[in-house]
Structure 1
Amino acid sequence: MSAMASDITSGTPLIEAHGLTKHYQDFSLQGVDLTVNEGEIVGFVGQNGAGKSTTIKALLGLTALDGGIARILGTDVNDLAHGTAAASIKEQIGVVFDTVSMPGHLCVADVGRVHARAFGQWSQHVFDQLVREFGLAPDKQVKDLSRGMGMKLSLACALSHGARLLVLDEATAGLDPMARDEILDRLRTFVEEPGRAVLMSSHITSDLEKIADRVLCIEDGRIVFDLAKDEITDEMGIARCRVAEFEAVAASGIIPERELRYRRHDYGIDLLVPDRFAFARQFPNIPVDHMTIDDYMTLTLKGGVR
């Protein structure tokens, strides 16, 4: 199959990257592996400067790689800059960055007209409907939009040209909780159609807990975990231990010693528990709370290892 094919075989990841490497003076992507499969919403998390935006730009062909390979919709990302076939692939990718990338003097209606000339599959009907539903005034200039309204405009554009893949970099930033829920509902509806998927970076991990199928975390340019979201939020837990209880758990072998991740604080020790139900059966007197994505990131990135 040609690298420029506009369709990909069923079951082939919509995004597939292996060993992505990019060196800057003070930062490097280091062998990043990443996949996004049909029907998935994949959350991409990490601290500021960890490499999320660099990875996304590399996947979109906006940053030249020093090593590794990446394909998006079956096309090598190095081929995205050239030719009509590359333009066809780009038609199928809806992108929202963390800043509004449209001239400030344009009004909302003008933005729609510009996109209509840029995208062969542009749907003015869908755009106009989203503009109404998002509460965007057609005559308001981009420079006068709040950050949240600017994100809504960017999303309206991304959803109006027949995209199969959405790549969102902090797309819910600046939105109030009700507006974020509205956007999350849109994303759920989007992936219900066959052949679609979403890669979504976000610092608002509670959003990812609502809709993500998988969560990837990057730190210092390396992927540190890639897990099903339900494994984190439904299976794992945080045991709230006293020092003596922590030592008893460590001695029990219920968690392999090399996997004991914990954080000490003034009132005791928080311990990462892979299976909170099994833990509760063996240690019924130690409280175990649900795990959040933030909790897991903190214990993974900052927790001690036995």
Structure 2
Amino acid sequence: MTAILEVNHLSKRYKKSEFALRDVSLTIPSGSIVGFIGQNGAGKSTTMGAVLGTLYKDQGVIRVFGQEMHTDNQLLKEDIGVVYDDMKLPKAITIKKLEKVLKRIYKCWNQRTFHHYIKLFNLPNDKKLQDFSRGMSMKLSVAVALSHEAKLLILDEATAGLDPSGREEVLDVLKAFVENQEKGILMSSHITSDIEKIADQLVFIKDGEIVLKVEKEELLNSYAIATCEEKQYKKIVNHHHVVAHRKIENGEVQILFNNREAILPPLEVQPFSIDDVTLLLMKGEKR
């Protein structure tokens, strides 16, 4: 399976900041949706900015459709659709006027596709964008990203501000986008239930470093979380199936295993969600 996006050993530092992106690597295979998960300030937006060429990287190689991405590679950027958590569109105009602008910006602008999504999302053509609700603005941004023949979508909190019905609508559209196996999506969201619904792979980032990359089905079906007393954890801390741990109330330790079959009595497997794994990885420590 060919890769839509390859990020290899990406590093980025900022002046007058302790934060740094360190050796970040991830891949989006054709036809897949990769969920990018981490706290605010973990490095998601910095990684996305480097992929888009809006940020200079210090080290690393980024390839989109097999071609190396540079900050001035405009032709390659045409093939990438972007949705941020706040609308990056002029707000004093209507959708009708916006489309005239977009036709001049994108060489492959598809008017028919745009009108399809505007109708699907029930967006008003004659209302100024500044009067849109946040949910309407997010839907419009998604419609724009899908209407210039993009093959890669970069979505930074694209479902933020949407009600459950609107989120389901957008998620269905995103799943349909990758169905032909020639496109891919990198999606960050604090709503991990959205990622759980549509992602094929999960990439967890913390303090500028990738702490876990895993297929979603493998995580849900093979990984496990268990809790024990701290003295008991010390006996298994070097177990090669332990991924991470964190101390919780009552002096107990919560442990993430990459193989639930490795959990032996008196430890017991606990029901968990991607949200639980995220909390453990972000608040805990790797083995």
Whether these two folds match at TM > 0.5 is yes
- How far the C-alpha of 1:253 sits from its partner, in A, is 8.9
Superposition pairs of residues 213-252 of structure 1, within 5 angstroms: 213-241=200-228, 243=229, 247=232, 251=235
- 1:137 and 1:182 map into 2 onto residues whose CA distance is 17
- How far the C-alpha of 1:31 sits from its partner, in A, is 1.6
What is the aligned partner in structure 2 of residue 77 from structure 1? 69
What is the aligned partner in structure 2 of residue 33 from structure 1? 25
Match of 2:145 among 151, 154, 158: 158
- 1:271 and 1:32 map into 2 onto residues whose CA distance is 24
What is the aligned partner in structure 1 of residue 115 from structure 2? 128
What is the aligned partner in structure 2 of residue 7 from structure 1? none
Query: What is the DSSP-based 3-state SS (H/G/I as helix, E as strand, rest coil) of the residue aligned with 1:140?
Result: coil
What is the aligned partner in structure 2 of residue 60 from structure 1? 52
- How far the C-alpha of 1:73 sits from its partner, in A, is 2.1
**Contact 1:250-1:257 within 8 A present in 2 as well:** no
- In the alignment, structure 1 residue 191 sits paired with structure 2 residue 175: no
**Contact 1:20-1:67 within 8 A present in 2 as well:** yes
What is the aligned partner in structure 1 of residue 280 from structure 2? 299
**Contact 2:39-2:282 within 8 A present in 1 as well:** no
- 1:121 and 1:171 map into 2 onto residues whose CA distance is 23
Cα RMSD of the aligned pairs, angstroms, is: 2.4
What is the aligned partner in structure 2 of residue 137 from structure 1? 124
**Contact 1:263-1:304 within 8 A present in 2 as well:** no
- 1:29 and 1:305 map into 2 onto residues whose CA distance is 18
Query: What is the DSSP-based 3-state SS (H/G/I as helix, E as strand, rest coil) of the residue aligned with 2:97?
Result: helix
- How far the C-alpha of 1:111 sits from its partner, in A, is 1.7
Query: What is the DSSP-based 3-state SS (H/G/I as helix, E as strand, rest coil) of the residue aligned with 2:25?
Result: strand
Query: What is the DSSP-based 3-state SS (H/G/I as helix, E as strand, rest coil) of the residue aligned with 1:17?
Result: strand
- How far the C-alpha of 1:65 sits from its partner, in A, is 1.5
Q: Which protein shows a greater Rg? A: 1
What is the aligned partner in structure 2 of residue 271 from structure 1? 255
- How far the C-alpha of 1:276 sits from its partner, in A, is 3.0
- 1:119 and 1:252 map into 2 onto residues whose CA distance is 56
CA deviation profile, 1:101-122 (whole Å, cap 9, x unmatched): 1111111222222212222222
Query: What is the DSSP-based 3-state SS (H/G/I as helix, E as strand, rest coil) of the residue aligned with 1:50?
Result: coil
Percent same amino acid among aligned pairs?
42
TM-score (norm 2): 0.90
**Contact 2:38-2:282 within 8 A present in 1 as well:** no
**Contact 2:34-2:202 within 8 A present in 1 as well:** yes
What is the aligned partner in structure 1 of residue 87 from structure 2? 100
- How far the C-alpha of 1:260 sits from its partner, in A, is 6.0
Match of 1:51 among 12, 31, 43: 43
- 1:266 and 1:253 map into 2 onto residues whose CA distance is 19
Query: What is the DSSP-based 3-state SS (H/G/I as helix, E as strand, rest coil) of the residue aligned with 1:289?
Result: coil
Q: Structure 1 pair 161/236, CA: closer, same or farther in 2 (3 Å)?
A: same
**Contact 2:33-2:198 within 8 A present in 1 as well:** yes
CA deviation profile, 1:247-267 (whole Å, cap 9, x unmatched): 2x7647994486562432138
Query: What is the DSSP-based 3-state SS (H/G/I as helix, E as strand, rest coil) of the residue aligned with 1:64?
Result: coil
Question: Which letter maps to 1:35?
Answer: T
Query: What is the DSSP-based 3-state SS (H/G/I as helix, E as strand, rest coil) of the residue aligned with 1:22?
Result: strand
TM-score (norm 1): 0.85
- 1:260 and 1:191 map into 2 onto residues whose CA distance is 32
Match of 2:270 among 253, 267, 289: 289
What is the aligned partner in structure 2 of residue 13 from structure 1? 3
- 2:248 and 2:89 map into 1 onto residues whose CA distance is 47
- How far the C-alpha of 1:272 sits from its partner, in A, is 2.1
- In the alignment, structure 1 residue 202 sits paired with structure 2 residue 222: no
Question: Which letter maps to 1:219?
Answer: K
**Contact 1:234-1:290 within 8 A present in 2 as well:** no
Question: Which letter maps to 2:206?
Answer: E
Query: What is the DSSP-based 3-state SS (H/G/I as helix, E as strand, rest coil) of the residue aligned with 1:266?
Result: helix
